[in-house]
Amino acid sequence: MKKVTLTLIKHKTIKQIAFKFQYDTEIKEYIKKLPHINWSKTHGVFYIPYTKENINLSAKHLKNSPWNIQNNLPKNDLFLINLTQEQLLDIQKFKRWLTQKRLSDNTVNTYTNVVTYFIKYCHSKNTTLYTNHMIESFNYDFIVKENKSISYQNQCINGIKKFLQYKNINLDTLQIVRPKKEKKLPTVLSLDEVKLILNNINNLKHKALIALIYSAGLRIGEAINLKITDIDSKRMLICVENSKGKKDRYTLLSPLFLVLVRQYYSVYKPKIFLFEGADGNKYSPTSAQKILSNAVRKTSISKKVTLHTLRHSFATHLLESGTDLRYIQELLGHGSPKTTMIYTHVSNKQLSQIKNPFDSL
């Protein structure tokens, strides 16, 4: 019997219901009758947005079909729980409260998302009481059991504690122990690999953005927040305002990058931000990562490369060229020299000078 499998995928970072089946014209035409159906070349499937309404609609649509329908969608997914208008309003107020605390956009969004899931979790347990037991259960079921990262677990704990502070709830006996972060060494590209990536970006705007992140050692948030006036070509410096830790700093303006960014400016003529989207607003971090991923895919590089890899590479290459760690710390905007010290572990300058005892055999 022909089989159609319903499964969960992420397409363009958004959860979708995917319909998987061996190619069959009859099934294809039947699936296409669903409203809002789309085709993904990336996944090779038809898909619709992952909502409770669409799950019910799909089940009803396929119920009387002659095929074997296999439902692999998650059961009791918190994502599908609908909150009350009062709860949604409370979450929006919490988000505004976080924003007034002048936390970064990323932190505000992360805390808001985790608190939304926490409230949905409480809703699924038929309670509106935010007790120690409920928080510890959420920590286990949503984070530990799902094997989410230690970094994300710490962010969740921070977000819930902020929410309790916002609600004036005092839980002094909260027993959630913060796990120690893994001490993973950063991925670093060689100079040749950075050059190879840039050579595989043809779009002038895209190349300038990726070159900026590497040549100035910027975080992606710093790069897309950069304004035209932050480029100081007379002093050959870039002013990074209100970066992580609410600090301003200066970083290097490469003469080679200055040539590239002037070419870019003469073509695109941005008005406020150095890199603007089609609507004139700030460029999207997701779009920037997609540019980098597409460029890496065209190369033979097998490392997992993210935008932050370019920042790690910038710091490591400075260290290997003899730059003092204190200056690297300032250029990166690290609050502590301990953070910058990690690059001593990935630099091959000192390691390459050590004679391997095997060579003496």
* Catalytic site residue from 244, 250, 265, 282: 244
CATH of segment(s) 85-166 = 1.10.150
The Cα angle at residue 261 between residues 293 and 255, in degrees rounded to 5: 105
| Residue range 129-187, pLDDT digits in tens | 888 888 888 888 888 887 778 888 888 888 998 999 999 887 765 666 666 666 778 89
**How far separated are the first and last CA of the chain, in Å rounded?**
66
Q: Is 96 an annotated catalytic residue?
A: no
* Catalytic site residue from 207, 249, 311, 317: 311
Query: Strand locations in the chain, DSSP E?
Result: 3-11, 14-20, 38-40, 45-49, 68-71, 231-232, 237-243, 247-252
Quick check: do 3-75 and 191-350 share a fold? no
Q: How far is CA 324 from the centre of its chain?
A: 31
| Residue range 216-252, pLDDT digits in tens | 999 999 999 999 999 999 999 999 987 776 788 999 9
Q: Is 11 an annotated catalytic residue?
A: no
Tell me the mean pLDDT in the region 80-85.
83
Q: Is 262 an annotated catalytic residue?
A: no
121, 78 Cβ separation under 8 angstroms = yes
Cβ-based burial of 44 (10 A; exposed 0-12, middle 13-18, buried ≥19): exposed
Q: Is 343 an annotated catalytic residue?
A: yes
Where do the structural domains in the chain lie, given as residue ranges? 3-75, 85-166, 191-350
CATH of segment(s) 3-75 = 3.40.1170.30
Q: Is 264 an annotated catalytic residue?
A: no
CATH architecture, range 191-350: Orthogonal Bundle (1.10)
Q: Is 219 an annotated catalytic residue?
A: yes
158, 129 Cβ separation under 8 angstroms = no
Reported confidence tier of residue 46, pLDDT bands at 50, 70, 90: very high
